[in-house]
């Protein structure tokens, strides 16, 4: 990617190489959508199963979210960023019955992320 977000694309590529199949929701959202403002929604979650984004991506927390104490965080930061805790199998701790158990109060990275723009998590839905 060239242009104003070229640096972000390079950082994203380096991060993805370091993390393997995992990535950062915030970085992916910014890279795919050209930048999001605070609170800007990334689209409607179609409720895919088996909840690909909740299993494959790290969820970074903002400083305010980290300080709020509302979320269970991983013991270690990733790339200097505090992230949501994950179960031993890799899924987000808030994933229950293939759905987000805290959907109404999910972190901003989850609100901003648009799974339909990420080929690793995108699910093609049958037409009506």
pLDDT at 90: 87
**What average pLDDT does the segment 86-90 reach?**
90
- Percent of the chain whose predicted confidence (pLDDT) is above 70: 52
- Check residue 121 and give its pLDDT: 64
Residue 85 has pLDDT above 90, yes or no: yes
Over residues 45-84, the pLDDT tens digits come to 556 666 778 888 889 999 999 999 999 999 888 888 899 9
Residue 94 pLDDT class (50, 70, 90 cuts): very high
What is the reported pTM? 0.58
**Which pLDDT score is estimated for 46?**
56
Q: At 19, list the tokens.
A: 């993390």
Please give, one letter per residue, the 3-state secondary structure of the chain.
CCCCCHHHHHHHHHHHHHHCCCCEHHHHHHHHHCCCCCCCCCCCCCCCCCCHHHHHCECECCHHHHHHCCCCECCCCECCECEECECCCCCECCEECCEECCHHHCCHHHHHCCHHHCCCCCCCCCCC
- Residue 3 CA to residue 50 CA, distance in Å, equals 35
Distance CA 32, CA 25 (A): 10
Mean pLDDT value of segment 24-39: 47
**In the predicted model, is pLDDT for residue 44 greater than 60?**
no
């Amino acid at each position: 990617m060239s242009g104003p977000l070229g640096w972000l694309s390079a950082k994203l590529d380096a991060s993805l190489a370091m993390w393997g199949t995992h990535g950062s929701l915030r970085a992916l959202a910014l890279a795919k959508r050209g930048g999001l403002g605070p609170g800007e929604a990334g689209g409607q979650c179609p409720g895919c199963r088996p909840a690909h984004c909740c299993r494959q991506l790290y969820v970074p927390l903002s400083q305010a979210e980290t300080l709020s104490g509302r979320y269970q965080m991983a013991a270690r930061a990733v790339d200097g960023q505090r992230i949501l805790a994950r179960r031993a199998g890799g899924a987000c701790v808030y994933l229950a019955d293939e759905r987000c158990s805290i959907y109404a109060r999910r972190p901003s990275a989850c609100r901003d992320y648009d799974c339909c723009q990420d080929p690793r998590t995108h699910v093609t839905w049958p037409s009506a």
